[in-house]
Chain A
Amino acid sequence: AQRVTQPEKLLSVFKGAPVELKCNYSYSGSPELFWYVQYSRQRLQLLLRHISRESIKGFTADLNKGETSFHLKKPFAQEEDSAMYYCALSGGLIQGAQKLVFGQGTRLTINP
């Protein structure tokens, strides 16, 4: 079964501290992994995807197939990073790239 688990519902860190949002998945195949973010009163938007291997707004995420994880990291948190973060996977072109399976989300709060 396809499943995405985000173990932390809430995460609070101080400005300037490192941030790590955890994401584990189960999928029988080669999934594509994503992080989506929703800032206050804004739409859900793509933050990054593992195939692009980009760093967006200082965030990075590495796909670890052995541990089936895709944790999101940032070395120095900023107040504007406060938002709801969702990890998601899809089956890619073969099983439906637009059929996203989302985790329950982690609400990140950056304290000044």
Chain B
Amino acid sequence: KAGVTQTPRYLIKTRGQQVTLSCSPISGHRSVSWYQQTPGQGLQFLFEYFSETQRNKGNFPGRFSGRQFSNSRSEMNVSTLELGDSALYLCASSWASNTEAFFGQGTRLTVV
């Protein structure tokens, strides 16, 4: 079966703009989590959605938001981009809250 798919794979944006990243989970998975990966901070949890509801949130400013649709696909949005938002954004999906998380390939965001 198809794995977790993230689009786009690469993105270049200008400071101050906003961006939307997409994640399609494995079919049947209802939980989608997002992570930011940077060389300095490593992998950091952003938020988790389950059945269209945000169930958990990390320590990121309100500029970072997300949502999940009825088909479990998820999007995350970053508004008023800053240079420090340049990172690899990873999405992970799982069937239930305590089952294995499967990661996507990530979206590489560069803010210039």
Question: A: which residues have CB within 8 A of B?
Answer: 32, 43-46, 49, 86, 88, 92-93, 96-105
B1-27 with Cβ < 8 A to chain A: 3-4
Q: What residues of B have a CB within 8 angstroms of the CB of A99 in the complex?
A: 33, 45, 48, 56, 58
Total cross-chain contacts (CB, 8 A): 52
B97 touches A86 (CB 8 A): no
Partner of B42, one of A45, A96, A98, A105: A105
A74 to B103, CA, bound (A): 24
A96 touches B56 (CB 8 A): yes
Query: What is the interface size of chain B, counting residues whose CB is below 8 A from a CB of the partner?
Result: 24
Q: Does B101 contact A (CB under 8 A)?
A: yes
Say whether chain B's binding surface is mostly helix, strand, loop, or mixed. Answer: strand
A96 touches B55 (CB 8 A): yes
Residue interface mask B22-59, A partner, CB < 8 A = 1? 00000000010101000000111100100000011010
Q: Name A92's closest neighbour in chain B (CB-CB).
A: B98
Q: What residues of A have a CB within 8 angstroms of the CB of B42 in the complex?
A: 102-105
The 8 closest A-B pairs by CB, nearest first: A102-B43, A97-B98, A96-B56, A44-B103, A99-B56, A104-B42, A98-B48, A97-B97
Q: Name B58's closest neighbour in chain A (CB-CB).
A: A99
Q: Does B72 contact A (CB under 8 A)?
A: no
A31 to B63, CA, bound (A): 30
A43 to B45, CA, bound (A): 17
Q: Name B46's closest neighbour in chain A (CB-CB).
A: A99
